[in-house]
Structure 1
């Protein structure tokens, strides 16, 4: 399913797919034997699928929801939940994982509770204030994020700051632009990295590591955050092979990513993002239960480095989704 942009300012758009990207995805699925129908948004799909269910025309359908935009809790879970309820084959992570991953505060709370190393995090909701009245101490460097957004939405040059220079009034104004719910998190200077993971019924396996860098400055994100402008407007964020990471640290990141995917009930291809500080301590900073199925994405670029084509990536994605639910 494609995502239609509507109704909000550009900086509120987490990700959209160009016509060229949609066509490339459709062509890649077609090349491996699928007949493809693209829907611009959830409403269009639900209307068609409901009619087709009445006509008994969904038995051979396989649904893959790729929309990345969305506001508020549970939105990404809508299509997987609909498919699961109606016994329609689908290849995303399930609705539970979608709800957890797209609620940063919930995901961070689960991982912290189970001993995963996370930056200290605080939750703020308009009208309710700070969770348990806890907030950062003065002079701590923090990053302010929307609770439900992805793809660096809401992250700009003002997002990382020293607490005390800005405070609750700044957070309240920001929260009013993003569904009233945000998190403030200790900012960890260092390398920003992603670890793709394959999660099946019987096994969870991390499959490498991808670094994120600015096209013109490899060290740009050491002391700054990747911004939505860099990611989605300018397109200057690039993936690279972080060969400088020692084997012990990489093994630790792999173990952490596998445990995080298990705790958050992720399925198929997923990704856990880290910040690696100056002492090579990895901190989990984000999670993604259904990464974009594009070769320029972290997962796609890693698979390309391993010699896989786009069609082979999508074949693995489909097979993993179908096998874990006994669809055949």
Structure 2
């Protein structure tokens, strides 16, 4: 366990308690039960990215447990209306910090609407700015940036409605995995996404591009295990927490298996500490995650995802600027293993932003 991170988080949680009674932290989120799914895909619904009623309650109760006042706004329109009509400014407490997870609609850039709108109205938000949020949701662009900086992102190619970008294709006999370029929560990811370059594979890709109305990133597939590294920025320094392994059937050794759409939608995957990896590999993944966090300009918190081969060689496969903080998440799992409460996850995120804003 990263002792320095544990100590720093404890110090930040202690500091935020001194101003908790001055803070309102509204939550802007989509709910699976709400009717905000206009333009949804026919398959792989975007609702996997939305909160259940229980998950929204976990966030709200966690914020309240930390001493913050909070209020739920369901979707962007409800929140924007509250700003424009003045009810938001009537919320109690002098300091307001918006925690946004909303991303109505489909396709690129949709999670950046609320941060951009809040910037226009001089309202601080948790996490990264609108540009970074949009950038991070283009998996191919992120891969190019990280590889250009010498970071170990997987080899990647782009396939869109015109075919391979600039006719650059992966080599034959290389195992591949294709992912929707602008999505998370494994939307569009199924067994057909894994294969080798062939006419049949390209035909399947073309169908997926048309169905999800966006390009697909095609990456070299890494057999082995999968891990997520949470990152939090406290007191001017980014701290990478210990890698958290993704598990299937209780095992962190996935081999050729992946956390596809059905597994993610039903929360069938689990979490474990990376005891199957040597200490040096875990430390190198933590250091790499800090570099990714800085390279992409993330703020407050983030997460870097890896696949690790049997030889312990690891590759960056994805990043998250607004990682899940509900109980079933890598962030919450690490906090639990470190001896913190679930509410402390929310407290630490608010503390990271409050410190950045000079509130303590």
User: Does the aligned pair in 2 maintain the 1:190–1:223 contact within 8 Å?
Assistant: yes
Q: What is the TM-score normalised by the length of structure 1?
A: 0.92
Secondary structure in 2 matching 1:299: helix
Residue from 99, 105, 108 that aligns with 2:143:
108
Tell whether 2:179 aligns with 1:152. Answer: no
Residue from 305, 308, 319 that aligns with 2:340:
308
Tell whether 2:66 aligns with 1:39. Answer: no
Residue from 259, 263, 286 that aligns with 1:230:
263
Moved more, 207-216 or 146-155: 207-216
Query: Which residue pairs with 1:2 in the alignment?
Result: 29
Query: Which residue pairs with 2:13 in the alignment?
Result: none
From the superposition, tell whether residues 33 and 249 of structure 1 become closer, same or farther in structure 2 (CA, over 3 Å): same
Moved more, 87-96 or 62-71: 62-71
Residue from 238, 244, 262 that aligns with 1:210:
244
Paired residues for 1:312-327 under 5 Å: 312-326=344-358
Q: Deviations over 1:61-113 (max 9, x none)?
A: 32101236652221111111111221112112221221111110111111011
Residue from 185, 198, 212 that aligns with 1:164:
198
The CA distance in 1 between the partners of 2:233 and 2:106, in whole Å, is 26
* Number of positions where the alignment pairs a residue of Structure 1 with one of Structure 2: 325
Structure (1 or 2) with the greater helix fraction: 2
Q: Deviations over 1:195-244 (max 9, x none)?
A: 1111347212211110001135553x3212211101113x2100111112
Moved more, 94-103 or 11-20: 11-20
Moved more, 85-94 or 108-117: 85-94
Q: CA deviation at 1:292?
A: 1.1
From the superposition, tell whether residues 29 and 171 of structure 1 become closer, same or farther in structure 2 (CA, over 3 Å): same
Unaligned runs of 5+ in 1: none
The CA distance in 1 between the partners of 2:185 and 2:271, in whole Å, is 14
Secondary structure in 1 matching 2:344: helix
Query: Which residue pairs with 1:181 in the alignment?
Result: 215
Q: What is the TM-score normalised by the length of structure 2?
A: 0.84
From the superposition, tell whether residues 304 and 273 of structure 1 become closer, same or farther in structure 2 (CA, over 3 Å): same
Q: CA deviation at 1:277?
A: 0.9
Residue from 194, 198, 212 that aligns with 2:228:
194
Moved more, 11-20 or 73-82: 11-20
Tell whether 2:304 aligns with 1:272. Answer: yes
Unaligned runs of 5+ in 2: 1-27
Q: Deviations over 1:24-57 (max 9, x none)?
A: 2212212222222111111111111122289676
Query: Which residue pairs with 1:122 in the alignment?
Result: 157
User: Does the aligned pair in 1 maintain the 2:146–2:292 contact within 8 Å?
Assistant: yes
Query: Which residue pairs with 2:107 in the alignment?
Result: 72
Secondary structure in 2 matching 1:89: coil
Secondary structure in 1 matching 2:200: coil
Moved more, 45-54 or 254-263: 45-54
